[in-house]
Structure 1
Amino acid sequence: MAGRCGGRAPPQVRSALLPGEPRPGVTTWEPVTPETVAKEEWLRLVYTDETWMTQFDGRDIDWTDPKPISNATPTSSSTLPSLVVRMLEDLDVQDGMDVLEIGTGTGYSTALMCHRLGSENVTSIETDEGVARRAREALTASGHTPHLLVGDGRVGHPDGAPYDRLVATCGFRNIPPAWLEQVRPGGVILTTLRGWMRSLGLVKLIVTGDSASGWFSEDGPSFMIARQQDAPESLGMVPVPDDGTVRRAVRGPELLTSSGSAFMAQLAAPDARFFSMAVGGGPVSTFLLDSVADSFAVLAPTDGGWQVRQGGPRRLWDAVESAVATWEEYGSPNTTAFGVTVSRDQQAVWLGNPDGPQWALPS
Structure 2
Amino acid sequence: MTAELKTTSGELGVEWKPVFDAVPRSAFLPDLIWRHDLATGDVSAIDRRADPDGWWAAAGANTPLVTQWDDGRHEGRERGRVATISSSMPSLVSAMLADLDVRPGQRVLEIGTGTGWNAGLLAHRLGAGSVVSVDVDEGAVKAARGRLARLGLVAEVVHGDGFAGYGPGAPYDRMVVTCGVRTLPFAWVEQTRPGGVVLVPWGTHFSSTEATARLVVAEDGLSAQGTFTRPVTFMRLRSQRLAHASYDTYVTEESREAARISTTSRTHREVFAGTYDVNRFVLGLRVPDCTYLADRPREGRRPVWLYSLSDRSWACVVHRDERTELTVHQSGPRSLWDEVEAAYEWWTERGRPGFGRLGLTVDGGGQRAWLDEPEGPI
TM-score w.r.t. the length of structure 2 is 0.82
CA deviation vs aligned residue, 1:158-208 (integer Å, no higher than 9, x gap): 111111100011111121111111111111010111233122311111111
Quick check: 1:13–1:111 contact (8 Å CA) kept in 2? no
The 5-angstrom pairing of residues 142-157 of structure 1 reads: 142-157=151-166
Q: CA deviation at 1:250?
A: 6.5
The separation in 2 between residues aligned to 1:300 and 1:79, in whole angstroms, is 34
Which residue of 25, 29, 32 maps to 2:47? 32
Quick check: 1:104–1:124 contact (8 Å CA) kept in 2? yes
Which residue of 304, 308, 319 maps to 2:339? 319
Partner of 2:361: 341
The separation in 2 between residues aligned to 1:191 and 1:7, in whole angstroms, is 26
The reply to whether residue 78 of structure 1 matches residue 91 of structure 2 is no
Letter in 2 for 1:347: Q
The reply to whether residue 207 of structure 1 matches residue 217 of structure 2 is yes
Letter in 2 for 1:325: E
Which residue of 4, 24, 40 maps to 1:13? 24
Q: CA deviation at 1:2?
A: 5.7
Which moves more between the two structures, 294-303 or 176-185? 294-303
Q: CA deviation at 1:311?
A: 4.0
Partner of 1:223: 234
Q: CA deviation at 1:228?
A: 1.1
Q: Report the number of matched residues.
A: 347
Which residue of 295, 299, 309 maps to 2:317? 299
Provide the secondary structure at the position in 2 that maps to 1:223: coil
Which residue of 226, 241, 244 maps to 2:256? 241
The separation in 2 between residues aligned to 1:60 and 1:287, in whole angstroms, is 30
The 5-angstrom pairing of residues 23-102 of structure 1 reads: 23=34, 29-33=44-48, 35-38=49-52, 42-59=55-72, 67-102=76-111
Q: CA deviation at 1:79?
A: 0.9
The separation in 2 between residues aligned to 1:158 and 1:270, in whole angstroms, is 32
Which moves more between the two structures, 11-20 or 153-162? 11-20
Query: CA RMSD, aligned part only?
Result: 2.9
Percent identity over the alignment is 33
Partner of 2:352: 332
The reply to whether residue 161 of structure 1 matches residue 176 of structure 2 is no
Quick check: 1:21–1:53 contact (8 Å CA) kept in 2? no
Provide the secondary structure at the position in 2 that maps to 1:55: strand
Q: CA deviation at 1:42?
A: 4.6
The separation in 2 between residues aligned to 1:275 and 1:298, in whole angstroms, is 10
Quick check: 1:103–1:126 contact (8 Å CA) kept in 2? yes
The separation in 2 between residues aligned to 1:158 and 1:3, in whole angstroms, is 33
Q: CA deviation at 1:154?
A: 1.2
Partner of 1:119: 128
Partner of 1:280: none
Which moves more between the two structures, 208-217 or 291-300? 291-300
Quick check: 1:211–1:342 contact (8 Å CA) kept in 2? yes
Letter in 1 for 2:283: A
CA deviation vs aligned residue, 1:7-45 (integer Å, no higher than 9, x gap): 751425322221134345998742322x3334x665443
Quick check: 1:2–1:92 contact (8 Å CA) kept in 2? no
Extract unaligned runs of 5+ from structure 2.
1-11, 296-300
Letter in 2 for 1:156: G
Quick check: 2:23–2:117 contact (8 Å CA) kept in 1? no
The separation in 2 between residues aligned to 1:177 and 1:80, in whole angstroms, is 29
The separation in 2 between residues aligned to 1:214 and 1:331, in whole angstroms, is 21
Q: CA deviation at 1:230?
A: 0.7
Q: 1:306 to 1:327 in 2, by over 3 A?
A: same
